[in-house]
């Protein structure tokens, strides 16, 4: 590389497509910073649930947001300094997160934070609107997808491994509802960026997906070398 900055990599897609696993490994192999935007929103959802604030109470939500800080510390997620990493991956928090991310107040709080984390380059952002809203000028945009049945199986396995009771049919129904909420919301809906590379992870190993993304990053590096 010359004096140019390292690229920004965005990985968007629906729940259960494998974004977290793939983004973590891509960031590790490249030596890039990982920004799990979904975890930041889940942390805010956790704070809302913990405070018992209704999503329809705009005043109470604004007050809560004003006194709440969320941070990523390596693999840990902190809310006002408290480690909530193990508490933000429940189905309940998932559904609440999807509702809250449709609210302008949360977007106004989180989008500038995410952009500041990406500004220097050498970062992998993972979420649902990182390539369309947060970093529309990212050098590498990936849309990671998988069919609903496989995504539901993965989520069921993940929940069971954490000791959370999970029924495949229920998980699949909840995931389909999450898809509907994410794609139909008026603000920053889940959609594929026009210039993104689509990677379908159905029946494909994480290592294969990771290599596809690494190849795209290397191509972007070649194109920006002076």
SS3 33: strand
Asked if residue 145 has pLDDT above 90, the reply is yes
Q: Which residue spans within 15-155 are E strands per DSSP?
A: 33-36, 70-73, 76-79, 82-83, 123-127, 140-145
Q: How much is the pLDDT for 29?
A: 97
188 touches 132 (CB < 8 A): yes
SS3 213: helix
Q: How much is the pLDDT for 224?
A: 57
Question: Distance of alpha carbon 32 from its chain centroid, rounded?
Answer: 16
Mean confidence (pLDDT) of the chain: 92
- The angle, 0 to 180 degrees and rounded to 10, between the axes of the packed helices 148-161 and 168-184 is 120
Please provide residue 144's backbone torsions phi and psi, each rounded to the nearest 5 degrees: -95, 125
- Distance between CA atoms of 171 and 149, rounded to whole angstroms? 10
pTM for the structure as a whole: 0.86
Asked if residue 24 has pLDDT above 80, the reply is yes
Q: Determine the average pLDDT of the residues in 38-43.
A: 92
Pairing of strands 82-83, 76-79: antiparallel
pLDDT category of residue 225 using cuts at 50, 70 and 90: low
> 113 vs 140, which has greater pLDDT?
140
Q: How much is the pLDDT for 3?
A: 56
Structural domains for the chain: 8-224 (3.40.50.300)
End-to-end CA distance of the chain: 9
Reported as a single tens digit per residue, the pLDDT across 89-108 is: 888 898 899 889 888 888 88
Asked if residue 212 has pLDDT above 90, the reply is yes
């Amino acid at each position: 590389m010359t004096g140019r900055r390292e690229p920004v990599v965005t990985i968007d897609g629906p729940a259960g497509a494998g974004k977290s696993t793939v983004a973590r490994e891509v960031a590790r192999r490249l030596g890039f910073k990982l920004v799990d935007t979904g975890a930041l929103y889940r942390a805010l959802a956790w704070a809302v649930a913990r405070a018992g604030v209704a999503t329809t109470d705009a005043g109470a939500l604004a007050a809560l947001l004003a006194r709440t800080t969320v941070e990523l510390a390596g693999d840990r997620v902190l809310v006002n300094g408290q480690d909530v990493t193990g508490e933000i991956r429940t189905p309940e928090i998932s559904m609440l997160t999807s509702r809250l991310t449709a609210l302008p107040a949360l977007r106004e709080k989180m989008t500038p934070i995410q952009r500041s984390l990406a500004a220097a380059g050498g970062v992998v952002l993972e979420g649902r609107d990182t390539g369309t809203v947060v970093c529309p000028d990212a050098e590498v945009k990936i849309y990671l997808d998988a069919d609903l049945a496989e995504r539901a199986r993965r989520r069921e396995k993940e929940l069971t491994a954490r000791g959370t009771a999970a029924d495949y049919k229920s998980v699949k129904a909840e995931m389909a509802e999450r898809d509907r909420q994410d794609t139909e919301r008026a603000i920053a809906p889940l959609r594929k960026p026009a210039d993104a590379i689509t990677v379908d992870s159905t029946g494909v190993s994480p290592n294969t997906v990771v290599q596809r993304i690494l190849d795209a990053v290397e191509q972007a590096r070649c194109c920006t070398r002076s």
